[in-house]
């Protein structure tokens, strides 16, 4: 049967420039996330929908192929290569076994990345607001022993939303860990993962040692989320707006976490946000590398392992960790 004009049009090779007007960076990777093709560029992440995705019955020849930026951060950003690109590099079924849910793990990583990006943007917005307030202080003077103190709008809402997104990112990381040990991890989150790591890989394994160090921070974020959603007298957060001190200095917004097990003394909210983002991204990267390293399946005659690439390979692959084989003192990447 002769093709209809719309069939010939849709079956033709696709040629399309991908990128927003302010993003002329190169394409680094292309792969599926949540059933949709995503294109990773240096300055952004884009989802691509073909005309057949929008119009599967091929009823309208005018329906175009589309691309849409879903994150304005791409492979040039450490938070992207420490999470999504590291997952893409390490989650390989031929090395982790056919039962490992590669796509599920990748999808969870992208969900965590979206929360981390949102947290990062919240911190930048707070810093910009504070800078604007600082620049306006020169015009403020006391009058009749009174002074108007500036305030950050909805500062408590900002802090609570930030902590909830942090908890979501950590929850996604925990769900990824469960994919490595199906039906073995209990309800006690990372403490139960630590017990599994000790029993399966030994108390002195790199994974067990890493979890021992990382768990206090992870529990702090989880408990902070619980303080927001289920506050008690000894389990709550306090968020302070800009405050005038006896020294006549203005203290920037600050946060305190009151919890008997994971207290956080008063700390500038901006610094707190910055440190939380950095720690989550760093823990994510190391956790993925150690989970994969601890669960590599035998692969032929090669002794494949997770390695830290030398600087030139890190630059080429946009990741710090990947699979490799040692050849003397050199690392041979294993794709």
Q: Are strands 36-41 and 27-33 parallel, antiparallel or unpaired?
A: antiparallel
Q: How far is CA 221 from the centre of its chain?
A: 15
Query: Do 106 and 90 meet the contact criterion of CB atoms below 8 Å apart?
Result: no
pLDDT of residue 92: 86
d(Cα 255, Cα 239) in Å, to the nearest integer? 5
Tell me the mean pLDDT per 10 residues along the chain, length 335.
Answer: 85 86 90 95 94 93 93 95 96 88 96 98 95 72 71 94 97 95 84 93 96 96 95 96 86 95 96 97 97 88 87 92 85 79
DSSP sequence for 276-317: HHHHHHHHHHHHHHHHHHTTPPPBTTB--EEEEPPHHHHHHH
Query: Left (φ > 0), alpha (ψ -120 to 50) or beta: where does 154 sit?
Result: left
pLDDT of residue 171: 95
* Location of structure tokens 């304005």: 72
Read off the tokens for 192. Answer: 């139960």
Read off the tokens for 241. Answer: 């707006």
pLDDT of residue 145: 67
Query: Do 41 and 28 meet the contact criterion of CB atoms below 8 Å apart?
Result: yes
Residue ranges covered by each domain of the chain:
5-71, 78-136+151-333
Helix (H) or strand (E) holding 144: none
Query: Do 189 and 175 meet the contact criterion of CB atoms below 8 Å apart?
Result: no
Q: What is the pLDDT of residues 218-277, one digit of tens each?
A: 999 999 999 999 999 999 999 999 998 888 788 999 999 999 999 999 999 999 999 999
3-class SS of residue 182: coil
DSSP sequence for 233-272: TTBEEEEE-SEE-TTSPEEPPEEEEE-SSS-EEEEEHHHH
Q: Give the contacts of 21 (CB within 8 A, at least 6 positions apart).
A: none
């Amino acid at each position: 049967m002769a093709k209809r004009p719309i069939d010939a049009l849709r079956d033709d090779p696709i040629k399309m420039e991908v990128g927003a007007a302010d993003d002329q960076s190169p394409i680094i990777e292309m792969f599926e996330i949540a059933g949709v093709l995503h294109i990773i560029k240096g300055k952004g992440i884009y989802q691509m929908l073909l005309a057949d995705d929008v119009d599967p019955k091929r009823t309208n020849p005018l329906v175009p192929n589309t691309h849409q930026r879903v994150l304005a951060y791409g492979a040039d950003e450490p938070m992207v290569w420490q999470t999504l690109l590291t997952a893409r590099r390490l989650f390989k079924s031929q090395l982790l076994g056919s039962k490992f849910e590669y796509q599920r793990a990748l999808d969870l990583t992208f969900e965590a990345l979206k929360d981390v990006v949102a947290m990062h943007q919240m911190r930048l917005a707070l810093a910009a607001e504070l800078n604007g307030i600082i620049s306006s202080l020169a015009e403020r003077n006391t009058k009749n022993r009174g002074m108007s103190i500036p305030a950050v709008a909805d500062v408590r809402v900002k802090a609570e939303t930030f902590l909830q997104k942090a908890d979501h990112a950590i929850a996604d990381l925990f769900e990824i860990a469960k994919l490595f040990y199906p039906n073995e991890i209990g309800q006690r989150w990372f403490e139960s993962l630590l017990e599994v790591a000790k029993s399966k890989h030994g108390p002195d394994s790199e994974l067990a040692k890493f979890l021992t160090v990382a768990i206090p921070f992870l529990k702090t974020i989880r408990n902070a989320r619980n303080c927001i959603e289920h506050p008690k007298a000894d389990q709550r957060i306090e968020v302070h707006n800009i405050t005038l001190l006896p020294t006549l200095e203005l203290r920037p917004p600050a946060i305190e976490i009151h919890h008997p097990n994971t207290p956080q003394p008063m700390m500038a909210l901006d610094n707190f946000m910055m440190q939380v983002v950095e720690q989550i991204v760093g823990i994510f990267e190391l956790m993925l590398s150690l989970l994969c390293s601890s669960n590599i399946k035998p692969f032929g005659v090669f002794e494949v392992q997770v390695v830290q690439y030398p600087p030139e390979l890190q630059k080429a692959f946009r990741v710090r960790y990947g699979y490799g084989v040692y050849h003397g003192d050199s690392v041979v990447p294993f794709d």
